[in-house]
Amino acid sequence: MTDSATLTAVDPATGAPGTSYPETSGEELEALLAAAAAAADDERFRGEARVAMLRSIADKLRDRVDEIVAVCTAETGLSEARLRGEVERTWRQVLLFADLIETGEHHEVIIETADPDYKPVPRPDLRRMTIPIGPVAVFAASNFPLAFSVAGGDTASALAAGCPVVCKAHPGHPGTSALVGSLIDEAVAEHDLPAGVFGLVQTASVQLATRLVCDDRIEAVGFTGSIAGGRAIFDAAARRARPIPVYAEMGSVNPVVVTAAAIRERGDAIADQLAGAVSQHAGQLCTKPGLVFVPKGADGDSLAQSLGERVSQSETAPMLGPRLLHGAEAAVSELESAGSERVQLLGRSAPAPEGALALPAAVFATDAAELRADPSLREERFGPITVVVRYADLEDLLATLHELEGQLTGTIQLADEGEDQDAARAIAEALIARVGRLVINGVPTGVVVSAAQFHGGPYPATTAPTTTSVGTLAIRRFLRPVLFQNAPEWLLPEPLRG
Amino acid sequence: MTDSATLTAVDPATGAPGTSYPETSGEELEALLAAAAAAADDERFRGEARVAMLRSIADKLRDRVDEIVAVCTAETGLSEARLRGEVERTWRQVLLFADLIETGEHHEVIIETADPDYKPVPRPDLRRMTIPIGPVAVFAASNFPLAFSVAGGDTASALAAGCPVVCKAHPGHPGTSALVGSLIDEAVAEHDLPAGVFGLVQTASVQLATRLVCDDRIEAVGFTGSIAGGRAIFDAAARRARPIPVYAEMGSVNPVVVTAAAIRERGDAIADQLAGAVSQHAGQLCTKPGLVFVPKGADGDSLAQSLGERVSQSETAPMLGPRLLHGAEAAVSELESAGSERVQLLGRSAPAPEGALALPAAVFATDAAELRADPSLREERFGPITVVVRYADLEDLLATLHELEGQLTGTIQLADEGEDQDAARAIAEALIARVGRLVINGVPTGVVVSAAQFHGGPYPATTAPTTTSVGTLAIRRFLRPVLFQNAPEWLLPEPLRG
């Protein structure tokens, strides 16, 4: 895929190489970092122009949707419908941040005027607001080549916060990255903002990426990707002379619990939902259900069988690139090699077309006791793969959930009528203790961008369990509070006056 | 000070050893951790009883003030007036957190009901709130043996958040720690809460402290102390299989800039303020002004001389213990050995009484160019020591401020009339870029506990620049958000209903 000077994507549908893009050199990275540091101190980037810039980025993404989708389809193998939707999600997300910063709410202003009677000592005039943390390194994801990539949530929230971004593009879609990056550059230039507001790094070099994380001019890192990648970046940042926050959104198996009553009430509908969530986009979603807990016995067997059949009938879709394909193949091999007394295959979609970087979608099954005994069964399998886990009773289920690591999501499928509410509460409590989002009667895929949204969770779901990478509160990651004590009006920033 | 089984404080006023207290064993630490984990899952600790428990802690601190002050004075050498004030600050701080959680504001609830017309996809019912992050390890400070110690801000905010606390007491005041810890234990028991809500670890062992940080049952760490200590804990937590947030409040030199106009307007008053801030409590405050920038020439010389004289006349007070004393002595020796052409002594208080762990307060002076050239001159000197830095002009001043690391505070003393406002804005901007709190016409010591307060800053002031360790927002450090998607009313926590 990569030589010393260029990056070349592969068309996952055919395996054919696409256009080559030049890699960023060390000298170019240094120039981007210097420009970012200069932009952080530039008055022009602090004010109104930032709102207009974000709206221009949104306009450009919307206006160039055909071109973006064409370039991106050839690099990612994702469907046109999916990519059109993702472009819309991406520009709407940028607009949400523009709207937010126009209100000033992100400054989280608190004003306490002087109080001579305050106890135990008089209180001076205290005015708190947030300011940008400084230049941010964003590591783009492969699986959302738009919404979590160059103009994705990390970039949008950092720019909205007033932080210049140096974005390390994912080498899986260099053409999409170059195109979207050029649209951001255009918006920056049109609003007379310093060029260092945004910089794009195209590289497959771990060394260059590490240099970016460790550069003293970088004040925070946003990352979406694998546990291994996120942890390496976290470790590098923690070893800096001056450590900085790393907001890495990494892995999740997204447990789904289905009750017997729910299966009896609407088993087919649940199987439909789950099969879609497992197989759509070749299962390459950080919220794909990776473990589906069903009760032992006829109800659970029925759901497992339905899910296996539906996934068997799903379309075998290309994966994003050879590395993800090989990872998914290895995960399937591991499940197959466990032995049929431990892990059973319930269904598998048609073999991949010749040349395509595709893996048949597959449903396996095991018992809760096996999952408890073997930590490798509880690991994320990125791709169109899920494992049905049969539980004997509530106690067996809860004991097994208790063994799971931190997760982005947990889901419960409950009956609308006649459900055991105490049991449901116990399941919800067990999930909430280790997830960031609890979904009832749905699937965890599809993360709406809004003010309430929370996309995060305890490690290894993320390295920063108090923060979200989706939704407008994602901006908090890139703002730090400051307090003005007894400052005269003329010295106060505008949000703190009056 | 320490043998294998007990901790013994020294009376800093006389050097005489005090009572011995047993050290916590490895088995006892294990029991405390197990109890903390059990308490985190205990329903009783989630509800109303937590508010009542906090109020009982406050009551007990207030009711037992004489006893606390007596024990603490003998261990710390701090004045009775200071310690009485600190007890009041401590119980009022606990009450503030009780009041906060009674309102429920700390849950930061956001409710978005379902919206089928939301773009680009329909929005389900989304309800966000925060929940406790889990058991917290608190590392108590030496210099505030009450307000930043066993029942201090970290413990109060963690307990208020609903997180059990395992508190590593500072070995400098084991009797105070034991007494205050027993009051918390009483409050826990009186409200029928699990004993694991609070646990006290008395140790001087780095190994045992590291075990606490690295234990898988601990979900976050609060620390107040030195850069070396805080960084060691940060590093240990970052190396865990499952890293956790470390909120360490560490060092700061707290630059103070005085303008020529301010000196002409009220030089004596400024010298009074600064001399007090440098020498009170033997300068053992994380917000003690360590660098005082004055203009070269007659105005600056006049302020420097006044400050030197006042500090010379201040009382030579004992420091908290031998380790801090030796550190401060070394810092003074380093300044003295720099040579009088580089660093000059402006004033020094009387020699310490025989046997007392005391260091004369001292004011030194240097030039801005020296400070830029020698990073060691810019380091924190914990104790009653400050350095006046003469700047030639605004450019010289700004270039020097630019070399400073992250700070808790920055201060500007400005004239009320006839000040150069553009210059003041430039100084404020340079400070805000590297501090958490900007003080105008005051001194940075004295941190009021309130809703707006922000006590934090970029590294090395803290390891978490987006968080505060003083004020009610300190609770955010120990809460993580969760989202409920499409949950029926009966499954929602109370704050998310309706």
Could you please report the per-residue DSSP string of B287-354?
Answer: T---EEEEESSHHHHHHHHHHHHHHHHS---B-SSHHHHHHHHHHHHHHHTT-TTT-EEEEE-PPPPT
The mean pLDDT value for A308-330 works out to 96
Q: Are A220 and A477 in contact (CB under 8 A)?
A: yes
Sign of CA dihedral B86, B378, B409, A165: negative
Quick check: A448 and B131 CB within 8 A?
no
**Is the peptide bond preceding residue B460 cis, with omega within 30 degrees of 0?**
yes
Chain B window 386-405: which residues touch A at a Cβ cutoff of 8 Å?
405
CB distance B480–A468 less than 8 Å? no
For residues A28-41, average pLDDT: 98
| Mutation site for A-interface testing, chosen from B466, B468, B489, B492 by largest number of A Cβ within 10 Å | B466
Which of B112, B450, B453 comes nearest A452 by C-beta? B112
Distance in Å, alpha carbon of A359 to nearest chain B alpha carbon? 28
Of A244, A451, A483, the CB nearest to B454: A483
- B452 vs A425: CB contact, 8 Å cut-off? no
Of B245, B452, B488, the CB nearest to A483: B452
CB contact under 8 A, A459 and B243: yes
Q: Is B441 close to A112, i.e. CB distance below 8 A? A: no
Task: Quote the mean pLDDT of chain B.
Answer: 97
Which residue type is seen at B263?
A: I
DSSP codes of every residue in A200-258: EE----HHHHHHHHH-TT--EEEEES-HHHHHHHHHHHHTSSS---EEEE-----EEEE
Q: Is A41 on the interface with B (CB under 8 A)?
A: yes
B286 is catalytic: yes
B 45-74 residues inside an 8 A Cβ radius of A: none
**Which pLDDT score, from 0 to 100, does residue A498 have?**
79
Unique residue bearing structure tokens 């968080």: B467
Q: Do B451 and A112 touch (CB under 8 A)?
A: yes
> Which tens digits make up the pLDDT trace of A96-105?
999 999 999 9
The shortest C-alpha distance from A300 to chain B (Å) reads 23
Chain A within 8 Å of B333 (Cβ-Cβ)? Answer: no
Q: Which of residues 86-105 of A touch B (CB under 8 A)?
A: 88-89, 92
User: Residue A81: is it exposed, middle or buried by C-beta count within 10 angstroms (0-12/13-18/19+)?
Assistant: exposed
Catalytic residue among B86, B163, B286, B370: B286
Cβ A465–B245 below 8 Å, yes or no?
A: yes
pLDDT given at position B4: 59
User: In angstroms, rounded to a whole number, what is the distance separating the alpha carbons of residues B215 and B237?
Assistant: 9
- CA A272, A275, A279, A280 torsion-angle sign: positive
Residue at A4: amino acid letter = S
Query: Which among A281, A258, A260, A245 has a CA at the least distance from the CA of A389?
Result: A258
Question: How far is B443 from A178, CA to CA, in rounded Å?
Answer: 51
The verdict on whether B214 is a catalytic residue reads no
Tell me which chain A residue has its CA closest to the CA of residue B132. A433
Nearest alpha-carbon partner for A197 in A164, A220, A169: A164
Catalytic site residue from A75, A86, A249, A380: A249
Which phi and psi (to 5°) does residue B121 adopt? -135, 155
Task: Give yes or no for residue A1 having a pLDDT over 50.
Answer: no
* B481 touches A at CB < 8 Å: yes
**Alpha-carbon distance A344 to nearest alpha carbon in chain B (angstroms):** 31
Q: Encode pLDDT of A459-477 as tens digits.
A: 999 999 999 999 999 999 9
User: What pLDDT was estimated at residue B2?
Assistant: 42
Residue A226: pLDDT over 60: yes
Interface of A with B in 421-480 (CB under 8 A): 421, 424-425, 428, 432-433, 435-442, 446, 448, 450-454, 456, 458-460, 463-466, 468, 473, 476-477, 479-480
Instruction: Note whether B118 contacts A: Cβ–Cβ < 8 A.
Output: yes
Q: Which residues of B touch A413 (CB under 8 A)?
A: none
What would the pLDDT profile of A140-155 be if each residue is shown by its tens digit? 999 999 999 999 999 9
Quote the Cα angle for B359-B364-B367, to 5°: 155
CA B460 → CA B227, B261, B407, distances in Å? 7, 32, 7
Residue/partner pairs of B492-495 with CB below 8 Å, 24 or more apart: B492/B127, B493/B129, B495/B104, B495/B107, B495/B109, B495/B129
From residue A232, how far is each of A30, A154, A206, A250, A465 by CA, in Å?
21, 19, 10, 11, 18
Decide: A126 and B452 in contact? Cβ < 8 Å.
yes
Range list of β-strands (E), A40-117: 110-112
A235 Cα to chain B: minimum distance (Å): 7
Confidence of residue A479 (pLDDT cuts 50, 70, 90): very high
| Alpha-carbon radius of gyration of chain A | 24
pTM as predicted: 0.97
Within 10 angstroms of residue B185's Cβ, the number of other Cβ atoms is: 16
- What are the structure tokens assigned to B138, written together? 């608190």
Q: Is the ipTM of this complex over 0.95?
A: yes
Residues composing chain A: 498
Contacts of B242 in chain A (CB under 8 A): 405-406, 459-460
pLDDT grade for A2, boundaries at 50, 70 and 90: very low
CB contact under 8 Å between A433 and B41, yes or no, is yes
- Note the pLDDT tens digit of each residue in A336-378: 999 999 999 999 999 999 999 999 999 999 999 999 999 999 9
B481 and A421 in contact by Cβ < 8 A? no
Given A286, A370, A380, A405, which residue is catalytic?
A286
Q: How close is the nearest chain B Cα to the Cα of A37, in Å?
A: 12
- What percentage of residues in chain A have a pLDDT greater than 70? 99
Please state the rounded mean pLDDT for residues A414-431. Answer: 97
A4: confidence class by pLDDT, cuts 50, 70, 90:
low
pLDDT confidence tier of residue A47, bands split at 50, 70 and 90: confident
Query: Nearest residue of A to residue B406 by CA position?
Result: A242
CB contact under 8 A, A491 and B428: yes
> Tokens 């949400």 appear where?
A96
A4 touches chain B (CB under 8 A): no
How many helices and strands, by DSSP H and E, does chain A display?
A: 14, 17
- What is the residue type of B3? D
Helix, strand, coil abundance in chain B, percent, nearest 5? 45, 20, 35
Q: Which residues 6+ apart lie within 8 Å of B156 measured at CB?
A: B54, B57, B93, B94, B97
CB contact under 8 A, A483 and B436: yes
Residues of B in contact with A450 (CB under 8 A): 112, 118, 123, 126
Mutate which of A287, A485, A489, A490 to disrupt the B interface (most B C-beta within 10 Å)?
A485
Residue of B45, B435, B438 best to disrupt the A interface, most CBs of A under 10 A: B438
Q: Give the C-alpha separation, A158 to B300, whole Å.
A: 42
A235-247 per-position pLDDT tens digit: 999 999 999 999 9
Residues of B in contact with A118 (CB under 8 A): 448, 450
Residue stretches of chain B with pLDDT short of 70: 1-4
Q: Which residues of B340-370 are buried (b: 16+ CB within 10 A; e: fewer)?
A: eebbbebbbbeebeeebbbbbbbbbbbbbbb
Chain A residues near residue B435 by CB distance under 8 angstroms: 482
A212, pLDDT greater than 70: yes
